[in-house]
Structure 1
Amino acid sequence: MEDEDYFAIIGIGATGGAVLEKVYQSGMRNCRFVVCLEDVTALNASYIPAKIRLAGNEAEVGQAEQRLTEEISRTIESTELVFIVAELNDAGISRTATLVAQQIRAMNRRCVAIVAAAANPAFPLAVPDEATFQVLSSLCDGLMAVRSTGAEPDTSVHAMTSAIRGLVAMCRASWDTVDFSDVAYVMRGTGRMAVVEQEADGEQRSEAVLAGIINQLAAFPFALRSVDRILLHLSGSPANPVRMREQYTLVKGLTDQIGSQPRLFKTVYSEDGALEDRLKMTVLLWTPV
Structure 2
Amino acid sequence: MKIPIYQVDAFTNERFKGNPAAVCPLDSWLPDVVMQNIAAENNLAETAFVVAAGNEYEIRWFTPTVEVDLCGHATLASAYVLFNELNFAGDQINFISHRSGPLSVTKNGSILALNFPVDSLTEAPFKPAFAIGLSQAPRTVIKGKTDYLFVYNSEAEILALQPDFEALKAHPVRGIIVTAPGETTDFVSRFFGPACGVNEDPVTGSAHTTLTPYWASILGKTELTARQLSQRTGDLTCNLMGDRVEIAGEAVLYLKGEIEV
Q: TM-score scaled to structure 2, two decimals? A: 0.31
Q: Tell me which protein shows more helix as a share of its residues.
A: 1
Rg comparison, structure with higher value:
1
Greater relative contact order (CA < 8 Å, ≥ 6 in sequence): 2
Q: TM-score scaled to structure 1, two decimals? A: 0.29
